[in-house]
Structure 1
């Protein structure tokens, strides 16, 4: 699902919302998550999952084009862990 599809779905489920309002809602939620992560905070949405930031250590990598070794600096990467409810919804058909 894309951002525009999410906005459309939000407008369909809430007919009183106009496009501009639905866009602002989606942007506010995603912006809040991104801002919290950039400050090193964890964002938990009960039943859905939790976003956090993990640090990757520096390592020796390879340039895929030349095969030459390159030093890759440490970096922060976003991480998502599914919540129990979402995990069960995803796997309900496979548990039988």
Structure 2
């Protein structure tokens, strides 16, 4: 299975839009930086037709070590989730 990288995205922009490789990479970096900054500031990010990056605050809870069965507290934390749009789900499933 292949992995799509930043360089692959920049190459695709280079081919489709005719921008230089450097400009294409700068564009990819700028988009990813904007998304990262918004998430770091506590904002959800919605990309229409693609999906939504959601931040969730999880409260403290009790977990269990599966090997020993000992209960341990799990500290509260913020987690990042991704919910794909219906358009993306349809495209991935081949509908």
TM range (shorter): 0.7 to 0.9
- Give the aligned length: 92
For normalisation by structure 2, the TM-score amounts to 0.79
Indicate how the Cα distance of structure 1 residues 65 and 2 shifts in structure 2: closer, same or farther if over 3 A, else same: farther
RMSD after superposition = 2.1
Query: Unaligned regions of 5+ residues in structure 1, if any?
Result: none
Indicate how the Cα distance of structure 1 residues 75 and 13 shifts in structure 2: closer, same or farther if over 3 A, else same: same
- Which of residues 36, 39, 46 is equivalent to 2:38? 36
Hey, what's the Cα distance between the residues in 1 that align with 2:91 and 2:20?
Answer: 31
For normalisation by structure 1, the TM-score amounts to 0.78
- 1:59 Cα deviation after fit: 2.9
Indicate how the Cα distance of structure 1 residues 64 and 6 shifts in structure 2: closer, same or farther if over 3 A, else same: farther
Hey, what's the Cα distance between the residues in 1 that align with 2:88 and 2:81?
Answer: 16
* Residue 13 of structure 1: aligned partner: 16
- 1:55 Cα deviation after fit: 1.4
